[in-house]
Chain A
């Protein structure tokens, strides 16, 4: 079974500072990896995804993530955050190639708070 661990439940950052949200996963098989964002009082929306190929993936709103197979990590980064990035961020994984291939397993979430 797959599992996802987000290492920080809350991350406070000043505006225009860089940020990294950490995500580690466990799986004995190949996986697809995702970051979703949940803005206040809204549902989740896809930020970016890694399926294959280049290990550095770029998403919306200036975010990027790097897949590291040896460290089983998929950390999310942004070089300069904005107040509007305040949200909860979820890392997710699903397994490649089985009938339930779109059953996502989510991490616990990281609440990113941007302070002026």
Chain B
């Protein structure tokens, strides 16, 4: 079984709808991240969490919110989706004791907002 899972894998939604992307991990890591990937722009950090009580904005947090329900679960919400939020979204985890800078990525969620 995959260590970092994301649901759904693909989602098409309409402008204005609320949508939640979910991430679960079995690696036991405290740190979790949400990125979006756009062609030609690489990965950009949306939010990150260093433990259940710690949530931090990344470089592009506007229009997004997150919830860290447990050590293993980190959800990303789009309160009112817009077309320029169409992208590939990745969840990642890390453990500073297991390798500086090394992050473990889920398979991604492809989101299309029409």
Residues of A in contact with B (beta carbons under 8 Å apart): 4, 6, 9, 32, 34, 41-46, 49, 51, 90, 92, 94, 100-104, 106-109
Contact = CB atoms under 8 A, between A and B. Distances in A.
19 contacts: A4-B42, A34-B101, A42-B107, A43-B92, A43-B108, A44-B105, A46-B103, A49-B102, A51-B100, A92-B101, A94-B100, A102-B31, A102-B103, A103-B48, A104-B101, A104-B103, A106-B42, A107-B42, A108-B42
A6 B101 CA distance: 19
Contacts of B90: 43-44
A92 B103 CA distance: 11
A32 to B, nearest CB: 5
Interface of B: 4, 31, 40-45, 48, 56, 58, 90, 92, 94, 96, 99-103, 105-108
A106 B96 contact: no
Given A42-B108, A106-B44, 8 more contacts: A6-B42, A9-B40, A34-B102, A42-B107, A43-B105, A44-B92, A44-B103, A103-B58
A53 to B, nearest CB: 13
Given A9-B40, A43-B4, A51-B100, A103 B45 contact: yes
A108 to B, nearest CB: 5
B94 A102 contact: yes
